[in-house]
Homo-oligomer: A and B are copies of this chain.
């Protein structure tokens, strides 16, 4: 594990994306989404995705020269075709459109089809926040999650992000709808720790505690057509009596609003044929409902009351977004953390494309 300055990471990524054939504007956007994730401590969606993006360009899954297109519009809705370029570019366009709509008719929704990985969902919800709006972003993913009572993965880990104005930072809920995302298992593996709680099951729905076994299960579920069974659990864990069907419900809602509405692949089908993902973005103008400063103050007061509730000694009540903005402030000072394998990949790509690799600090 080492650290690099975020500014160096940004410069490196912009040059790499330029070399890979993206327009300057699109390259800057892609770099921004990855640096932003690393700054917020969401390393799983930061620069460590670069080698994968590189492979998808090499194999023709991603065509960097293409531009996303608006297929159809109404005053409140937009359908965007990512046109086989990165999800970030199309989702950014869709959210820009939706923000305009919300400013005119009060609300807007957009669906992105023929898309790919779009970084962290929170990035697009924050775009809405920056425009003074409330924002939501959803994406489907590869199949990683076993429904209630099922023994094979079918649903995606299907991210849900929601941002609402508050001080000193917005309420920012951003993560997989499953109990955990695959990244948490990789992290446990790197630390040599057993998996706690109820995160993942094998083909007999027995809890898996060994992170290497867990990674093997997820690798097969996500990237092959031969399911060997098992996968991540829905929120609610292994037992139906703890209402894990509600976690399944949340995940299916995302499938319906992404792969189904976009008429693209559902998560289960991203392992075969067309490797497309789909996204859904939503924004509305809170100032229609009340004075925006008052709404922000009311939200802040509620969140502060939650943080200060009587709680278990020695524990903290983290409101969604608190950890992320804490990392953001810290990492702006101390740089972003890069694991050794990712750093090797950065060096290889830099050498291949003639781009200077960020210095370790």
Q: CB within 8 Å of B: which of A254-289?
A: 255-256, 259-263, 266, 268, 284-286, 288-289
**Chain A: interface size category:** 35 or more
Is A46 in contact with chain B by the CB < 8 A criterion? no
Is chain A's binding surface mostly helix, strand, loop or mixed? Answer: mixed
| Cβ contact within 8 Å between B241 and A261 | no
A252-B171, A286-B261, A289-B261 are known contacts. Are A151 and B311 too (CB-CB below 8 A)?
Answer: yes
Is A41 in contact with chain B by the CB < 8 A criterion? no
Q: CB within 8 Å of B: which of A282-326?
A: 284-286, 288-290, 294-295, 298-299, 302-303, 305-306, 309-312, 315-320
| Cβ contact within 8 Å between A107 and B154 | no
In angstroms, Cα B154 to Cα A107, docked, is 30
Is A246 in contact with chain B by the CB < 8 A criterion? yes
Interface string of A62-103 (1 = CB under 8 A from B): 000000000010111101000000000000000000000110
Is A205 in contact with chain B by the CB < 8 A criterion? yes
| Cβ contact within 8 Å between A294 and B263 | yes
Copies of the protein in its oligomer:
2
| Cβ contact within 8 Å between A150 and B318 | no
Q: Which residues of B contact A299 (CB under 8 A)?
A: 256, 260
| Cβ contact within 8 Å between A196 and B79 | no
| Cβ contact within 8 Å between A290 and B261 | yes
Q: Which of B171, B242, B262 contacts A256 (CB 8 A)?
A: B171
Is A243 in contact with chain B by the CB < 8 A criterion? yes
| Cβ contact within 8 Å between B288 and A72 | yes
- Interface residues of A, Cβ cutoff 8 Å to B: 72, 74-77, 79, 101-102, 104-109, 111, 134, 147-152, 154-155, 162, 164, 171, 173, 175, 177, 179-180, 196-199, 205, 229, 235-237, 239-243, 245-250, 252-253, 255-256, 259-263, 266, 268, 284-286, 288-290, 294-295, 298-299, 302-303, 305-306, 309-312, 315-320
